[in-house]
Structure formats: C-alpha cells, structure tokens
Amino acid sequence: MAFLTGFKDLKKTWEKIKKSGSKRDKIAFISILSLFSLIILGLIIVPLHLYLSTLPSIRAFEEYRPGIITKIYDTNGQLIGQFAEERRILIPLTSVPKSLLDATIAVEDSRFYRHCGIDFPGIVRALWVNLKARSIVEGGSTITQQLSKLLFLTPEKTIRRKIKEAVLALQIEHRYSKDEILELYFNQIYFGHGAYGVEAAANNYFGKHAQELTLAESALLSGLPRAPFHYSPYNNPKLALERRAHALRRMVKEGFITEEEAAQVDQEPLELKRLTAGENEAPYFVEHIRRQLERRYGTHAIYRGGLKVYTTLDLEMQKIAQKSFKEGLRNVDKTFGWRKPEKATEEELALFAKEKRSRILALLEEGEVYSGIVVKATSTFALIDLGGGLEGTLPAKNIAWTGFKYSSTILKPKDKVDVRVVELDREKEGIILALEQKPKVQGAIVALEPSTGYIKAMVGGYDFEESEFNRVTQAKRQPGSSFKPFIYTAAIDSGYSPTYIIIDAPVIYDDWGEKWTPKNYDEKFIGPTTLRVGLAQSRNVVTVKLLEKIGVKKVISCAHRMGIESYLGPDLSLALGTSEVIPLEMASAYGVFPNQGIKTEPLSILKVEDRSGNILEENFPKEAEVLKPATCYVMTNLLRGVVEHGTGWRARAVGHPCAAKTGTTDECTDAWFIGFTPDLVTCVWVGFDEKISLGKDMTGSQVAGPIWTDFMRAVFKDRPIREFPIPEKGLTFTRVCPESGLLATKECPQVMVEAFLDGTEPTEYCDLHGSEGVPGKGLGLRLIEPQKKKELESPFNLELIPLEELLTVSEAPISISEETYSE
C-alpha cells in the first residue's frame, strides 16, 4: 500500500509541474526520477546478477565427459571385471529404442517437445494428480530440469535450488537441441543396482543391449528413475509391475500405443537376468590388473576414464582353477576336523530377515557355497535360512565328514554355517544342502602359458572379500623340494648326466664348529642313487651332495636366469628349499623347461585403450634364451620321472604327458606342487599365512597335488594329447641300466632309454649284472630287490657299502638347523 501511495503522490507532483512548472523544473524532476529509477533498478539487477553468477556455466555442458566404466576383458573378449564410480556405458540416441523413448517421455515429461525447459501446465497437472492420489505419482520437473540437476546441482530440496534448476533448464534449451538433451539424459540417469544410463540398465536387468529392449522391458525401465530402489524388480517385483502398468497407461494416454497393446504387455511376466553377486569373475587377477593400471595411469583414469583393458586370462580356465582350488582347500581343512560355529548376532539375524527371498533364490547355484543360519536341527536333518526366510534342508548324511551322526549334535539354532547347494529346484524352492566350513588354511594357484608368459588363471586366496592379499604375487614362502629342479638343471647344464651316481648315505657338515647332518624325508637312505632317482624320490641328501659338487653360486645363477628374482641364500641349505620365493616366479621359472630354454616374463595385460578406442599400450611376450634346449629336454625327462615313479604320481591322472615336482618344507609348513605339459605350467601352494604346520604327513603330494591334478585334468579333458618336443640337436638317446647308470647289457633285468646331453652319455657297459645273475666287478653296489630283502647290520638295505663311504665330513659352510629336512 505504501508503494501505491508513493506512486500516486509522484503522479500528482508531475501533473502540477506539467501545468504550472517551468522547463527547468520539468528537467529537474525527470532527472531526479531517472536517478531514482536507476537506483531501484540497480538494487534489483545487481543482486540478481550476483545470484545468477553463482550458477554453473552451461558451457560445461559441451565439455562434460561423464565418468564411464573401465572394463577388463579376458583373452577371448569376455568381461571379467570393471572399475567405476558410476557404472555407465555411453551410447548415441539412435541406439535408444523408440519404445523406451516414448515410455520415458510419457512418464517423465509428456510435453518435452513443446516446452522451453519449464512446463508450467505440467507443473499444475502434476500438483492436481498428486493431490488426488494423496502421494507423489508425478513430478513437475521436465527432463531438461532433471538433467540440469544431475549435471550441475546438488540434490538438496530448496526453493533456491529449484530456481537455479529452472534458469539452467532455460539456458540448456536455448543452446541445445532436444535430441542432444535426450541423449545426455539417457546416458546420465540412474536406474538402480549401480547402473547409470540405459545401456548399463538394459544389461543389468535383462542381459542385453538397450536397442534390443522390448516394449515390456522399456516400460519397466522408464519407471525406475523416480525411485530406483523402491521400484527395483529384484527388491520389489510387485511394485515394479505396478510401476510398469502405470507407464503403459501413460503411453496409451499420450497415443504412443493402443489399449490392446498395453493390455497384452501388462500380462507379460517379469523375465529378468539372474542377479549375480558381482561381475568380477577373477578378483585376485583383476586387482592385480588394477594395481598395474593405477601405477601407469592414475586413479581417475581407472574409475572414470572408461578404459578398455584386454588381458591374458582365460575365463573358462579361471573358473576351473577357482573350483578346484576352493574344493581342495575345503578338503584340506576338513582333515583338521569340525569347528564349533559362531552364533549369529541380533544384528545379523535382522539383516538376514531383511534380505529379499526372490533375490537370494536367483543367486543360488548348484555346487556353490553360501552362508546360512540354522533355524532348526534334529537328529536326521537341519533347516538352514539362506536369507529372507528362504530355507534349505541339510540331511544328516551330508554332515558325515565331521565324524558326527546326528545334525542336532553339532548344530543349534542361530548357528552361522557354510553350506553347499547340492540340489536346487527354483520353481518349488526345493534346496538340498551339504555342510561345509570356511577354511583357515590358505593357498594359491597360478597357470601360465610357457611359450608366451601369459597368465591364464590366478587365484590368490580362498576369499578375496576377506583377504585381498594375493598369495600368487605377494606371498614369500619356502619352496622345499620344489626348488630341487634348479639344482639338477645346473648340474645337467654343467655336464652331469641323469645316470650320475651319488651315494645316498649319512653325511656330516661342519658349519663353523656346528655339526649338521641332512636327512631325507623318510629318514632312510638308499645308497648309490642316480640323479634320476634322486630327483624322482626327492632325496635330500643326494641333492645336498650334488649342490656341494657343482657349487652354490652356479645354482643361484641358474635359478635367477630362469626367473627366480627373490634372494637366495648362498649355502647348502638351498638344496632343501629354505630360501623364500613367490609362487608366480616359481611358475615362470618352471616354464623355461617346456619352452625349450626360452624364458618369457609373466604377462597379464595385452592392450589398453582409452574411451575413444585409442591404444594407450600394447604388450608382447618378452623372451630370453637362458638354457640350451637339450638341457631343458633332459630336465623335462627327469621331471616326467617324478610323475611316473616318484612323489608326483598324482599327475598321472591328467592323462596327458606331464612333468612335475612336489615340495614340502620343515614341519609340513608349506606344500607345493608345480608341473607342466607342453602348453601349460601350473603352480599350487598351500599353507597357513601364519607359517604353522599343516600337520603330520601333509606333504606337497598329499595337499597341493589333488588341487593341481583336478585343475589340469579338467583343463585338458577334451584336448588332443601332445608330446614334449625333442630338440633337433644336442641330445643322445642311449639304452642304459637304471641301477648302474651304464650301458645296458642283455643280462640287465631292467633297461631304459635315457636322454643325455651330447658327450655325457656312458661309454662303458653295466658291470653290475653278469651272466646268470652273477654280480660284476665294477662299483660292487647293488640295490636288493624287495622280494630278496633281508635284515642286515647296515640299516640301508644295501650290499657291499663300506662304512667309511657312508660317513664323510665336509667343510662346506651351511646355515641350517639340525632338524631341517624336506620332501
């Protein structure tokens, strides 16, 4: 009122001046009025300008590069993992199907093509619809306003923010076309379950590309952005269908589809892609990749840059490795017995109850292990809650491994347990379970392609979520006897032959006044032993003596050339594998044997592209010749003997030519099994992180061997058999007597064809076997056949072995405890 009164007074004053005032008075009045008007206008414009200046410039719209997913692919182009702050896959508007475009416009902004960024009639309509429904059914914001909020503003709900949103929407509409706005909107909007943009949403919910969406699927997706969690078809399938029906009604009203089409689509059931626990199929390997990428390109590039990373991993082989490894560790852990389970807390019980039954059912797979809570336990069965009230039956027969007969003896209500799904009927929700327990023992398995160094499979522990420590690349453990091939390799390369004989008998070493007598794993001795037998039967004393003969420095040099990068102690304890190594370098070094002397560095990343497809890096195998092909063939031949006649006997079950070596450290703390075919080298390590004993007789053959064998057998199940290639030169094949190591005669009871480096083959005939079984006059040493064994004064079951040859003293410096021995 004061403003109106003041305005009337000004008008009266002007009328008076106009009638009776002079020209000077008129000019003065107009000047004063103009000055006053400018002041008033300034008071309005300046604050408005200052307010609008706080708005983000929509020029950023042109420069805006939304964060998109960095994808990790296996060697066959299959997705194995991804990194992103927001899971988004950019697509052009032309890849958005018309059904989704129409459904979104009908639900979100029916006047999109007719307004200038703000839809005033739409605001009024939304208010009226929401009042009638007594809930928020429709929003008044246009697609352009939603986009301005998503790109430039915070999600706060204030008048101030709404004004900014409206102003930005007007600016966007003025500068950009409707199609440009829609394209960015469809790539930016959030659809729930980590999916940003329609392409990620289509893949997330239906396992397809956006352009492949049906009308029913488009209608469902169009209703999600309003409240993604609330309308999630996984979380609330009933509400999702109601929301889909609403979208179909809106499409009918806007003339996009007919009532008959809507009615038909409304009857279609929900057909969703099975929701997985995560797309990371190889967590330890993918984390290995992430660390390399972060060192080279930085964190921002990984999580927002949309890199495409092509790796060496074979996903199918990786799945086999994970299955074999986890089953193997569970079987090892069961030898320690059943451990009393922990009780679920009230908080854990509440979380289990909140789980969606349908989501849990969709996640289950036969053969997989899941966590559960005991609901009821009787003598014959137990009921296990897997989440959301979804129960599985655990028959008493499926707890037999615990040593207990009745379920109620070891299981009580509210116990937390691990169970394996044995049988699954999704329709009837019939679930039969078997009792498991999460292993405390850990391990690692890695498989490499010898010819390229490509890492084909990698499992660095039992549970990545529980421990991200990658034992393939980070664990430093004693290799035990699995280190012996490097000693034998150095010997063969130095001119020793597979038939060279060393006396397996007690020996005493003087370590600066301290006496040390190395022992064999079985604490027995077998007398004269060829290098072939010494390696096949993993004779410690033979290996220590061989190391002493050829020299520690030569062995360390050989191991380093082959790929062992860890520090190796320069003493005789090296023969027992006391220097710690990393599983990956052991696998890589063993790969030199089937690759005929060529060392290839382990490789995991083949190529990296940026979001535009530009190649940032491309990697190829790095090769170096470190051994003669002939030396490697002889060693491969010896290691095949470990499989055929020694501690690696389990590998025979693979059904393909294999060479391998076991390893067990003092007190059975570490168990190894490393072996190869012409095409693949695989290393398995099992042990506790705390470096405690696995238990009596828990050797590499017993513990790691089954995992290695199960994996390799599955990998080579349908592959054609391939023999190890024989080098063109440098080898001589000779028939020898396996006992004497000399050229075979017709009197020798056993004859074998042995491979020698040229010039190292024997030139004399066997002098152990004369005519009619009479011993010859040579070494005078002969192993007693099992059927002819008799009690001797000597504990070595040997004939004609002088005592002075059995007890010798060496001055070689060592650094090892008296109790140390290995398999």
Which residues 6+ apart lie within 8 Å of 726 measured at CB? Answer: 633
Of 568, 321, 627, the C-alpha closest to 448 is: 321
Distances (CA, A) of 151 to 60, 146, 424, 452: 9, 9, 46, 46
Q: Is 177 annotated as catalytic?
A: no
Bridge-based pairing state of the strands 605-609 and 308-311: antiparallel
Bridge-based pairing state of the strands 70-73 and 79-83: antiparallel
Distances (CA, A) of 700 to 276, 488, 704, 706: 35, 19, 5, 9
Are residues 481 and 577 in contact, defined by beta-carbon separation less than 8 angstroms? yes
* H-type alpha helices, 646-683: none
Catalytic residue among 99, 108, 222, 281: 108
Catalytic residue among 481, 573, 701, 740: 481
Of 311, 317, 221, 397, the C-alpha closest to 607 is: 311
Which residues 6+ apart lie within 8 Å of 786 measured at CB? Answer: none
Are residues 492 and 484 in contact, defined by beta-carbon separation less than 8 angstroms? no
Identify any residues that bridge with 501 across adjacent strands, giving them in sequence order: 530
Distances (CA, A) of 122 to 132, 281, 356: 15, 47, 37
> What's the CA angle centered on 569, arms 564 and 573, to 5 degrees?
110
Q: Is 108 annotated as catalytic?
A: yes
**Alpha-carbon distance 433 to 428, whole Å?**
15
**Alpha-carbon distance 148 to 398, whole Å?**
59
**Cβ-count burial of 191 within 10 angstroms (0-12 exposed, 13-18 middle, 19+ buried)?**
buried
**Cβ-count burial of 758 within 10 angstroms (0-12 exposed, 13-18 middle, 19+ buried)?**
exposed
Are residues 143 and 109 in contact, defined by beta-carbon separation less than 8 angstroms? yes
Are residues 360 and 409 in contact, defined by beta-carbon separation less than 8 angstroms? no
* Tokens standing for residue 145: 């306003």
**Alpha-carbon distance 86 to 97, whole Å?**
23
Are residues 290 and 602 in contact, defined by beta-carbon separation less than 8 angstroms? no
Q: Exposure pattern of 143-180 as b/e (b: 16+ CB <10 Å)?
A: bbbbbbbbbbbeeeeeeeebebbbbbbbbbbeebeeee
Which amino acid, residue 468?
E
H/E stretch holding 545: helix 540-550
* Cα Rg of the chain, angstroms: 39
Give the residue numbers marked as catalytic: 108, 481
